[in-house]
């Protein structure tokens, strides 16, 4: 079974020049954790705003392989 995963982090004011790189780093770190755990996943989307960063991953496996 697979399901989408959405992680949203609220934070203090983020400077505009930092939003893109911070969102990209968040998505890279989340994907790295999933891969270290052996969890298959689909496409990754990341975005951010002045007070939040988010990453959405389609079709994350519900459990690790045996």
**Run of H or E residues at 45:** strand 44-49
- Using only C-alpha atoms, the chain has a radius of gyration, in whole angstroms, of 13
Q: How confident is the model at residue 66 (pLDDT cuts 50, 70, 90)?
A: confident
Question: Quick check: 64 pLDDT over 90?
Answer: no
C-alpha span between 6 and 52 (Å, rounded): 13
Q: Comparing C-alpha atoms, which of 39, 15, 44 is closest to residue 28? A: 44
Quick: pLDDT tens for 11-53. 999 999 999 999 999 999 999 999 999 999 999 999 999 999 9
Residue, of 65 and 43, whose pLDDT is higher:
43
Predicted model pTM:
0.87
C-alpha span between 11 and 55 (Å, rounded): 14
pLDDT of residue 63: 87
């Amino acid at each position: 079974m697979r399901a989408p995963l959405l992680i949203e982090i609220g934070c203090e004011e983020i400077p505009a020049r930092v939003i893109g790189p911070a969102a990209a780093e968040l998505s890279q770190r989340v994907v790295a954790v999933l891969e270290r755990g052996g969890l298959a996943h689909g496409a990754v989307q990341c975005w951010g705003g002045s007070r939040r960063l988010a990453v959405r991953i389609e079709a994350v496996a519900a459990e690790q392989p045996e």
